[in-house]
Amino acid sequence: MVGRHRGKMRQRDLGTSATPTTTAATPPTSLAATPLTTSAIGLGCMGLSQGYGPADDDESIRVIHRALDLGVRMLDTAISYGRGHNEQLIGRALAGRHDDVAVATKFGIVRGDDGVRLDARPEHVRGYCESSLRRLGVEAIDLYYLHRVDPEVPVAETIGAMADLVAEGKVRHLGVSEITVAQLDQAAATHPITAVQFEWSLLWRESEADIVPAARRLGIGLVPYSPLGRGLLTATLDAATVDRSDFRRTDARFHDEALNDNLRQVAALRDLATKLGVTSGQLALAWLLAQGPDVVPIPGTRNRRRLSENVAAADLELSPAHLDRLDAALAPGTWSGDRTSFAVPVTTRRSVS
Ligand SMILES: NC(=O)c1ccc[n+]([C@@H]2O[C@H](COP(=O)([O-])OP(=O)(O)OC[C@H]3O[C@@H](n4cnc5c(N)ncnc54)[C@H](OP(=O)(O)O)[C@@H]3O)[C@@H](O)[C@H]2O)c1
């Protein structure tokens, strides 16, 4: 049965894993003293500036306002999304409403006319942060992520520079994204880390074998990005839509035979969703939320109706039998095509380990 809670969207604490375990090699952190409380589901804002086709700024602002009205308390952005456009848009949307929501932004990926590169040199971190503060129109960033570890810079050096920003009050919490377990350990040994962001959904479950247990061992909150499998898990995606969007065309899971295979895989999700009277996307989000109270997915959409649909997934409760059925039908490794997004040599965790 799918149960529904009425009222305000449930809240979650990041950085206070329910049962963090510690060993001699992983001394306890002080994360529990400074949890970041947020809604069970956040809003991924990337698509409002890049990735899935054109967006309209006025409608995007309405999407953000609808999210706040529905109880969303986490907006996810990055300097690189639209090369600053996304942060500016959020700054405009939140004018006078900054206290209503936590804003998470990221630095480390630099998009320029000559393509995409990484830069997380410690001497540049302050400049990136100050430019984000200006665009967002805030005095402090609630959650500041290292978007990608810079292969030229030991992660502890970048985190050290980020820790200085916390000490100065420019940043409240630190996060990391697309990181290996070894790097996560080094980051957490340098400064408490509140959240780790990584691709996790019924489409891509590889991180259940490494980052998920590592983050829980360290008491770090889990923020799955692309939780709708970049749209695939909504069972509404087709080849024509992929052709029109710039982001998925470079991802092997959305090409030719792999896309056809994957659309067939989605049928199992759609069948169970239909039986439960929910949408496939809602079921995919409910499955993620059922993975633990430390999981805060950030689905993205440019559309208010879809936003409402996604947020309503926070009210769904799946029975153990339904979770078992999804686990079996959409087990890790059952999908076609490797996960290869833009800037792949530096954005695939396995290639930088
Ligand atoms: N840390 C990182 O490296 C990283 C990487 C990627 C993303 N992210 C973050 O994660 C967020 C979410 O990831 P994502 O946007 O890549 O993928 P996603 O949330 O899995 O999927 C977004 C796609 O699904 C579509 N969609 C959303 N809700 C839908 C619904 N109810 N029915 C049908 N289609 C729906 C959207 O289209 P419409 O817009 O047309 O609704 C869009 O094409 C991003 O916004 C970003 O903030 C972080």
Does 86 map to a domain? yes
Does 85 map to a domain? yes
48 bridge partner residues:
none
What per-residue confidence (pLDDT) applies to 3? 34
Between the CA of 47 and the centroid of ligand 1 the distance, in Å, is: 6
- Using CA positions, which residue lies closest to atom 5 of ligand 1? 225
What is the distance in angstroms between the CA of the first residue and the CA of the last residue of the chain? 41
Does 165 map to a domain? yes
Mutate-to-test residue for ligand 1 from 145, 232, 301, highest number of ligand atoms within 8 A of CB = 301
What per-residue confidence (pLDDT) applies to 352? 38
What per-residue confidence (pLDDT) applies to 220? 96
What per-residue confidence (pLDDT) applies to 333? 84
How many independent structural domains does the chain possess? 1
Residue 340 binned pLDDT confidence (cut-offs 50, 70, 90): low
φ, ψ for residue 316 (rounded to 5)? Answer: -90, 140
Q: What is the pLDDT of residues 50-74, one digit of tens each?
A: 999 899 999 999 999 999 999 999 9
Is the pLDDT at 19 greater than 60? The verdict is: no
Which atom of ligand 1 approaches the CA of 45 most closely?
45
Specify the DSSP element, H or E, that contains 37: strand 36-39
Q: Is 81 a catalytic residue?
A: yes
Which atom of ligand 1 approaches the CA of 48 most closely?
39
- CA neighbours closer than 13 Å in the CB half-sphere of residue 220: 33
**Distance between CA atoms of residues 311 and 72, nearest Å:** 8
Given the residues 52, 81, 144, 145, select the one marked as catalytic. Answer: 81
What separation in angstroms does the CA of 203 have from each of 160, 281, 316?
34, 12, 20
Q: What is the pLDDT of residues 203-252, one digit of tens each?
A: 999 899 999 999 999 999 999 999 999 999 999 998 888 888 777 887 88
Residue 16 binned pLDDT confidence (cut-offs 50, 70, 90): low
What per-residue confidence (pLDDT) applies to 27? 32
222 bridge partner residues:
196, 295
What per-residue confidence (pLDDT) applies to 247? 76
Is the pLDDT at 92 greater than 90? The verdict is: yes
Q: What is the pLDDT of residues 97-119, one digit of tens each?
A: 888 899 999 999 998 888 888 99
- Using CA positions, which residue lies closest to atom 16 of ligand 1? 226
Q: What is the pLDDT of residues 263-314, one digit of tens each?
A: 988 998 999 999 999 999 999 999 999 999 999 999 999 999 999 999 999 9
What per-residue confidence (pLDDT) applies to 341? 52
Rg of the chain, C-alpha, whole Å: 19
Taking residues 247-262, report their average pLDDT: 85
Does 193 map to a domain? yes
What per-residue confidence (pLDDT) applies to 217? 97
Q: What is the pLDDT of residues 157-209, one digit of tens each?
A: 999 999 999 999 999 999 999 999 999 999 999 999 999 999 999 999 989 99
Write the CB contacts of 160 (distance below 8 Å, at least 6 apart in sequence): 122, 190, 191
**Distance between CA atoms of residues 117 and 343, nearest Å:** 8
Q: Cβ(202)–Cβ(226) under 8 Å?
A: no
Query: 104: closest CA among 92, 123, 90, 122?
Result: 90
Does 62 map to a domain? yes
Does 125 map to a domain? yes
Domain that holds residue 106: 36-231+281-317
Does 21 map to a domain? no
Does 190 map to a domain? yes
Between the CA of 48 and the centroid of ligand 1 the distance, in Å, is: 10
The CATH number of whichever domain residue 186 belongs to comes to 3.20.20.100
pTM of the model: 0.91
Between the CA of 225 and the centroid of ligand 1 the distance, in Å, is: 8
Residue 29 binned pLDDT confidence (cut-offs 50, 70, 90): very low
pLDDT: is 95 or 347 the higher one?
95
What per-residue confidence (pLDDT) applies to 267? 92
Residue with token string 């049965």:
1
- Using CA positions, which residue lies closest to atom 48 of ligand 1? 225
**Distance between CA atoms of residues 7 and 257, nearest Å:** 44
**Distance between CA atoms of residues 35 and 102, nearest Å:** 12
Amino acid at 76: D
Ligand 1 pocket by C-beta < 6 Å: which residues? 44-47, 52, 76, 177-178, 197, 225-231, 234, 236, 281, 298-303, 306, 309-310
Between the CA of 300 and the centroid of ligand 1 the distance, in Å, is: 3
